[in-house]
Amino acid sequence: MYSSRSSKIIDLRSDTVTLPTEEMLEAIKSAELGDDVFEEDPTVNRLQEMAAKKMWKEAALLVPSGTMANLVSVMSNTRRGDSAILEAESHIYWHEVGGISSIAGILPLPVKGDMGVMKPEDVEVAIILSDIHSAETTLVCIENTHNRAGGTIVTPKNIQALSKVVRDYGLSLYMDGARIFNAAVALKTDVRDFTRHVDNLMFCLSKGLSCPIGSIIVGTEEFIEKARKIRKMLGGGMRQAGVIAAPGIIALEKMISRLEEDHKNARVLAEGLAMIDGIKINLRSVQTNIVLFDISGLSIDAEKFIEILRKHNVLALEFGRTKIRMVTHRGIEREDVEAVLTVIEDVVKRLKTEVRKS
Ligand SMILES: Cc1ncc(COP(=O)(O)O)c(C=O)c1O
């Protein structure tokens, strides 16, 4: 039987639970500050310049969250009453409180992808052309890595193929790249290989890169100027935002390559789970730091299973009635993954014994 190795809580709910590093906290203390609504915060300006350069775009804009980054970007790419194509399981569609409709005034057109990747021919069929009756499609959104598909990668080749359809119809291509560095590190390629095919994108500092707050929108100068005004309208204009930007600079300089460790740990976790009778997992979908698995083979639903794990100091997220998500990140070591596997093996064994007895 599993005995608690220590009282350490192994929190696999999300990579957003990462805390800032000591160096980040020091950088916050010593950051040079100014009023960013006047575009006078030197630390914010430096981070934005770095981000634009890294993504091979003209300009960048710091915003408080990934959700705001997506909303501001959708609004900057469209007019109210337009429609936007997005993957049917995308974060924008499922987890952003419907802001795309209720605030941006956009009709979302969900297109089912394969492991988060939409086929260009399916996107083409979904496009609504301009006429008196219709909400004209002006935008296509992709998500990279794809969260609900299990951290899967939309490859540069996939994006290039989609961008061809997008160009043919004169639309814009936007990437919710909340975890785009995970994709780049996993494919051992430059992030520009992904960004070169999209018009604009956002990425998060506050996930695997360990910053406490912040996401960055990147695109042309003109797009970012529009986004700056919309950010202000939504209440996202910040003053001495250098305190957010300072850890962001460290993230871009030092935190990207270590994502590989998270991917290795996710692999170990996934392969271990695949060995446990009653757990279903598609190992093909485990490409980065997210592990999604199904417990429909056990006589328990995800909510109760998670409750039991919590009693063993293991935290996970319910992702549907029988699905569970675990995410690796800085602070989760190989030995933690092994401990989690031992806990799950033991819990599953006990569940099976209980079913046999009843
Ligand atoms: C793919 C994706 N996009 C956007 C977001 C939103 O980010 P935030 O939680 O900073 O609003 C998330 C958050 O998990 C996400 O996974």
Q: Is the CB–ligand 1 distance for residue 236 below 6 Å?
A: no
User: Which pTM was predicted?
Assistant: 0.96
At residue 1, the pLDDT reads 40
How much distance in Å is there from the Cα of 127 to the middle of ligand 1? 26
Mean pLDDT for all residues in the chain: 96
Q: Is the CB–ligand 1 distance for residue 262 below 6 Å?
A: no
Range with lowest mean pLDDT among 5-14, 77-86, 253-262, 328-337: 5-14
Query: Which pLDDT tens digit goes with each residue over 262-315?
Result: 999 999 999 999 999 999 999 999 999 999 999 999 989 999 999 999 999 999
Band of the pLDDT at 357, cuts 50, 70, 90? confident
For residue 3, pLDDT over 50 is answered with: no
Rounded-to-integer distance, Cα 78 and Cα 70, Å: 12
Q: Is the CB–ligand 1 distance for residue 137 below 6 Å?
A: no
How much distance in Å is there from the Cα of 201 to the middle of ligand 1? 13
- Measured from the Cα of 70, ligand 1's closest atom is 4
CB-CB contact of 43 with 242 (8 Å):
yes
At residue 272, the pLDDT reads 98
CA dihedral 147, 150, 156, 162 (to 10 degrees): -70
How much distance in Å is there from the Cα of 16 to the middle of ligand 1? 9
Query: Which pLDDT tens digit goes with each residue over 109-167?
Result: 999 999 999 999 999 999 999 999 999 999 999 999 999 999 999 999 999 999 999 99
DSSP string covering 62-101, please? EES-HHHHHHHHHHHH--TT-EEEEETT-HHHHSSTTHHH
At residue 6, the pLDDT reads 58
Query: Which pLDDT tens digit goes with each residue over 300-310?
Result: 999 999 999 99
* Half-sphere exposure (Cβ direction) of 236: Cα atoms closer than 13 Å: 24
Q: Is the CB–ligand 1 distance for residue 147 below 6 Å?
A: yes
How much distance in Å is there from the Cα of 13 to the middle of ligand 1? 13
For residue 75, pLDDT over 90 is answered with: yes
Rounded-to-integer distance, Cα 254 and Cα 265, Å: 19
Assigned token pair, 108: 């979302």
